[in-house]
Structure 1
Amino acid sequence: MHSTTKFHSLLDRLKLLPKIRSGWLGAPRMRRSITPGLTGLMTLFMVLTAVASAHARQPEASPRIDGPTAVARARVAADVLMSSYDPNKAWFPSSWWNSAVALQTIGDYMQRTGDRRYLGQLDNTFEKDKGVFPPGVLSGDPLLGNFTSRAIDDSEWWVLTWLQAYDLTRNPKYLDMAVTIANYVYGYWDTSTCGGGVWWNAERTYKNAVTNALWIRLTAELHNRIHGDHLWLARSSTAWKWFNGSGMINANGLVNDGLTDTCTNNGQTVWSYNQGMLIGAGLELWRATRDPSIMATVRRLADAAIGPNGLVASGILTESCDALDQTCDDNGKQFKGIFMRYWTDLVDTTHDRRYAAFLDTQAESIWNADRDAAGRLGTRWSGATSDAHPNVFDWRTQASALSALIGEIPVWTPQASLAATLSPAQPVVMPAASGNTPIALNLGVSATGWFPLNANASVQAPAGWGVSPTASQLHLQPHGTAVPVNGSIPLTLTVPSLATDGHHMVTANVAAAGLHFSTQADVLVAHSIDFDTGTVNETPWLWDPDGSQSNGVQNRFADGTAHFTYRFPFPFDTTSAHVTLTIDAEYLVQVSSDNQNWTTVLQENQRITDGSNKGNQTIDLTPYLGSGSDGAKPVYVKVSDAFPDDGWGGRVYHVTASFTE
């Protein structure tokens, strides 16, 4: 993961390091003008880069993956995350500060890989969301303009997001916005209470860890990007000194949540993001000052985090709300990712094998134990789950886990990568009483590199099932190490009528030029429909979640212009069908046979916001039985908001359906 001192020395002797740092060598726009001599030099550089990527990290007794695979995994996970981005509101649905963190995570991915496909979404958010908004539009609080609000820590997250955008683009508007927000935050630095510190909110009721660790990091980042700065460095140094003397770091080297009204450690939960944020704050300030005492504190914080009384269970970073008798709220879902962002910074900066090994372990556990067939990453990185408190998968958990996968990518971008996905990743099959059911799948392949690739693909279906083709080849012509090129192979899966109910895996393997990647589709065979919403059992049936949300187990709701759609692929010999929804609030329910032409079948005509109309509503689906390309008779059921102006749209708790053949 990390470039070695010897490698840097060699590059210096070859006079390559300054060119690499300036982005000259291998820049796509320069390729056609490179002379034969420089082509040989580039080849040497590619070899040296590959060697450095393979040998730079040498953690002791830790799981490891190669650099190309790390890039491929992160690319798949980043694409899944960005599928939840709402281009109209220019955010991730229903979370303001979480959106800032998710966008910064995508910025981390782009910076680490060179893949700049999502710069447009960053700028879309900047331009659309920098204005003034009333409460309930993008945040529960009114937004005051320039990404500020009464929540001071929310404002600070946006500083880091725009500094990341500045690093990616060098567009001064992002740096200017970061300074604007930072000046707003500085208005809440107050020495009259507890001797200093930034208030958590505009009401000045609480001084806490995250707000002040954010302040140290962002002021140090500003200093390190503004030539000749002294102001922001002074503010960062003052805040660091204040934080270390505040008492929020307890005797075990762990960061509690904040201070009491009498300015003592309140003993509240040690959240991973508080620990990680302060590590990141110290690292950025150390880069500005090279003060060894700062690095000593950073190491103490890091060692405490992974120590016997820290934040680790069986080697895996674990939030207190990850316990099997609890469920993390929408804030807690992203805490571990923030920790891992700054842990990656720690690994890059110190080259400490222990820290690198810990990072490796997190990434491997996420990919192998905490990932579903659709590439979604869950909140419990161990993969642990329970019926009452299942492992949760959503865009927040995706952004969080993605940070660990990004950390696995070598600093020197691998010269090639190969990734694959199967779609739909979680199809549902309702077999007829006799005959086989065909399902169309698509094997998507993406690659980066400098040379043409002939990707060989092989597909394995469950015993007794058919798949065609079982083997094929796809030619790809990458254009460099950054933006991936894509190709696809259509597949036909044949499911026998006697297939047993449950989940069945279809596996595809692709290989080219020493690169390998494996992907799966999780096919649900079902002869009945009965599921709670907001759970993993709902996922295969959820055809289009749009901007809907689930704030816990057994509910899904759609407010404003959002909706969610279920697809029920009834067998081709179905003669009648009904669905029952346990539903409340201001619902609008529509049904379609083709997902295009809709008929309203249920509508709440009263403005009900207290759930008092909760009940079972049964809908006759027989008139809407469609004709699918897979031979099924699909019906689409869409739930939306009957009164989109007040934010209390339809909420569904349970779904059952019956049919006759």
Structure 2
Amino acid sequence: MGKFCELRWSLFLVLFSAGVREAHAIAIDVNSVDSIKQAAFVFSHGMMDYYNGNQTGGTLGKFTWPYYWWESGAAWGSLLDYWFYTGDTTYNQMFTDALLANVGPNNDFMPKSETTTEGNDDQAFWGFTVMAAAERNFTNPPSDKPQWLELAEAVFWSMAGRWDTSTCGGGLRWQIFPFNNGYDYKNTISNAGLFLMAARLARYTGNTTYVDWADRTWDWTQQIGFLDTDYYYFYDGASVTGNCTDVKKYQWTYNAASFLAGSAYLYNFTLSELWANRTQNVLQGIQVFFDEGSGGVMYEVACEINHMCNTDQQSFKAYLSRFMGLTAVLAPWTYATIHTHLVNTVVNGISQSCTGGRDGVTCGTSWLAKGWDNTWGLGQEMAALETVQNLLINQVPAPYTATTGGSSPGGDGDSQGSGYGYTATTAGRAGAGILTSIALLMMLGGAWWIVI
């Protein structure tokens, strides 16, 4: 709601300097680097309307309600990309402070404030962000703090330690702890997170153990039916109570996007025909998220047409744009197709849709609508930012590795993650049991207080 409380004067200055007479839209010239950067500036500031973590009463790293902790991790990833694509360092210190404030006692992004509600997919999105910090060679934290690569490794091995063969033949559950709704559900995005982290760590470190994990995750996702190889559609997930036979066939952009980018990372690392083919197949599958009737504009097919996208889902298109950009760099033959998707979305969608609010540049949920659709939020701004700034993918280097310029040191764990305390699934189960006991004690304590 911050957009309707005050005018963003800095945005008016940008629009004025760009030659726009009135703040009724953002004129984006997709062939002009300066124009793209100016639009990215506008959307990045729009995102920060929802952050007060560095102010009195705020929580460092967390965006304001109703945005859950996982989306905060995703948002910092978009702002990291913003710096890398534009060179604007405005948010760099805030980024470092936010990430380090949320690492948790084991440096795996399980802070005490979130562990009773945190899911595997939540943890993965913070992992994506620190992995990107290593790949972008972002300024390393102070030497007495955990380093970007070390944090990414800890996230991966924490998640891998929860690989569950007791139901559905493997895979990750949606939730980490048994007392949370969704613990009995195995969803694609949690496993996509594990897959993408494995692929990125394999390429960065050269450790083929991560390739083995990527293979395992892809194979399980396909075998269980979350991946339809007739069309290369990725579905939402299934309940463990039915041994994952009741697959929910909702399609979300971020599921396909994570497997697209992970496949491209693995192709770039292995140069294998297998991963080249998988990258191409998933690229063809994501065509379902671009509406031909509107000129190829990106949309969230499961919820956008019927206006049912919830707060989380309003951000999903950001990850499709982000991971398409990575794919275009790592698997260069995909560039033309991906660039066309981005250009069509910006020209036919964002440019005419992000025209809302008092500032005239607020983005809505659906870019298919003619004009602003009267919605607003962090996810909407993030999606617009990632789509616009990924038009600059050919202006910056490919993600670095440990041998091509990446300087982030890793942790001291071996290839089984023993340095992080996640040597076996039982470790995760033990932690879950402890937290379950704590939760039960809290509930009993609450009941006792009511009786008194």
Is the 1:324–1:385 contact (alpha carbons within 8 Å) kept by the matching residues of 2? no
Is the 1:282–1:298 contact (alpha carbons within 8 Å) kept by the matching residues of 2? yes
Determine which structure has greater relative contact order: mean sequence separation of CA pairs < 8 Å that are 6+ residues apart, divided by chain length: 2
Q: Identity rate of aligned residues, in percent?
A: 21
User: Partner letter of residue 354 of structure 1?
Assistant: T
User: Partner letter of residue 295 of structure 1?
Assistant: A
User: Partner letter of residue 284 of structure 1?
Assistant: Y
Task: Give the gaps of 5 or more residues in structure 2.
Answer: 1-28, 398-452
Q: CA deviation at 1:193?
A: 2.3
Q: How do residues 129-528 of structure 1 correspond to structure 2 at under 5 angstroms?
A: 129-131=102-104, 143-144=111-112, 150-166=118-134, 167=136, 168-171=138-141, 173-202=147-176, 203=178, 204-226=183-205, 228-250=206-228, 251-260=230-239, 261-264=242-245, 266-306=247-287, 311-314=290-293, 315-320=296-301, 323=304, 325-348=306-329, 349-352=331-334, 353-372=336-355, 373-384=359-370, 390-412=373-395
Change (3 A) 1:148 1:405: farther
The 1-side partners of 2:116 and 2:280 are apart by 33
Change (3 A) 1:150 1:290: same
Q: CA deviation at 1:298?
A: 1.9
For the pair shown, the structure with the greater C-alpha radius of gyration is 1
1:29-80 CA-to-partner distances (Å, cap 9, x unmatched) read xxxxxxxxxxxxxxxxxxxxxxxxxxxxxxxxxx943222112211221122
The 1-side partners of 2:281 and 2:166 are apart by 30
Change (3 A) 1:224 1:351: same
The RMSD of aligned alpha carbons is 2.8
Change (3 A) 1:266 1:67: same
Aligned residues: 338
| Counterpart check, 1:118 vs 2:91 | yes
Is the 2:350–2:384 contact (alpha carbons within 8 Å) kept by the matching residues of 1? no
Is the 1:256–1:266 contact (alpha carbons within 8 Å) kept by the matching residues of 2? yes
Q: CA deviation at 1:218?
A: 0.7
Correspondence for 2:32: 66
Is the 2:353–2:371 contact (alpha carbons within 8 Å) kept by the matching residues of 1? no
1:446-483 CA-to-partner distances (Å, cap 9, x unmatched) read xxxxxxxxxxxxxxxxxxxxxxxxxxxxxxxxxxxxxx
The 2-side partners of 1:160 and 1:324 are apart by 29
More helix by share: 2
Q: CA deviation at 1:411?
A: 2.6
The 1-side partners of 2:152 and 2:368 are apart by 36
More strand by share: 1
Correspondence for 1:609: none
The 2-side partners of 1:70 and 1:147 are apart by 39
Change (3 A) 1:267 1:321: closer
Is the 1:385–1:391 contact (alpha carbons within 8 Å) kept by the matching residues of 2? no
Is the 2:102–2:111 contact (alpha carbons within 8 Å) kept by the matching residues of 1? no
| Counterpart check, 1:77 vs 2:43 | yes
The 2-side partners of 1:342 and 1:359 are apart by 12
Is the 1:378–1:401 contact (alpha carbons within 8 Å) kept by the matching residues of 2? no
| Counterpart check, 1:127 vs 2:106 | no
1:510-563 CA-to-partner distances (Å, cap 9, x unmatched) read xxxxxxxxxxxxxxxxxxxxxxxxxxxxxxxxxxxxxxxxxxxxxxxxxxxxxx
Correspondence for 1:571: none
Correspondence for 1:92: 63
Scaled by the length of structure 2, the TM-score of the pair is 0.68
Change (3 A) 1:149 1:122: farther
Task: Give the gaps of 5 or more residues in structure 1.
Answer: 1-62, 133-138, 415-661
Out of 93, 98, 105, the position equivalent to 2:78 is 105
Is the 1:78–1:109 contact (alpha carbons within 8 Å) kept by the matching residues of 2? yes
Scaled by the length of structure 1, the TM-score of the pair is 0.48
Q: CA deviation at 1:103?
A: 0.8
Q: CA deviation at 1:317?
A: 1.4
